[in-house]
Amino acid sequence: GAVVSQHPSRVICKSGTSVKIECRSLDFQATTMFWYRQFPKQSLMLMATSNEGSKATYEQGVEKDKFLINHASLTLSTLTVTSAHPEDSSFYICSARFLEETQYFGPGTRLLVL
């Protein structure tokens, strides 16, 4: 299967700082990337969908000014959590897809905001 990487795998930061998470498709071109959030013992919640070269589409209830998404190339998307607060602590997972094919997930990033 296709390989998607995320960096960092784990990050701890102070409240009020911004954190950037990178998602890369390593062996295919990702025309679409998705960002999910997962709380303990819950399923994945889609935050936003991004197509290369265009603005991300955010799900209802997700603040676009708080969660900045950039999909500047066919292999890289970034999610920046701005002015992070403890309630933003979560497991953030990206996935990538080429055209209409299967979504492959990155390994996830655990964010802890103190």
Partner 1 sequence: EDKVVQSPLSLVVHEGDTVTLNCSYEVTNFRSLLWYKQEKKAPTFLFMLTSSGIEKKSGRLSSILDKKELFSILNITATQTGDSAVYLCAGDSSNTGKLIFGQGTTLQVKP
Q: Which of 14, 40, 43, 65 binds partner 1 (CB under 8 A)?
A: 43
CA distance 71 to 101: 18
Q: Which of 30, 96, 108, 113 binds partner 1 (CB under 8 A)?
A: 108
3-state SS assignment for residue 42:
coil
CA distance 59 to 100: 20
Site for partner 1 in 55-84 (CB under 8 A): none
75 Rama sector, left if φ>0, alpha if ψ -120 to 50, beta otherwise: alpha
CB of 22 to partner 1, least distance (A): 14
Q: Which residues in this chain contact partner 1 in the complex, by CB under 8 A?
A: 1, 6, 32, 34, 42-44, 46, 49, 93, 95, 97, 100, 102-108
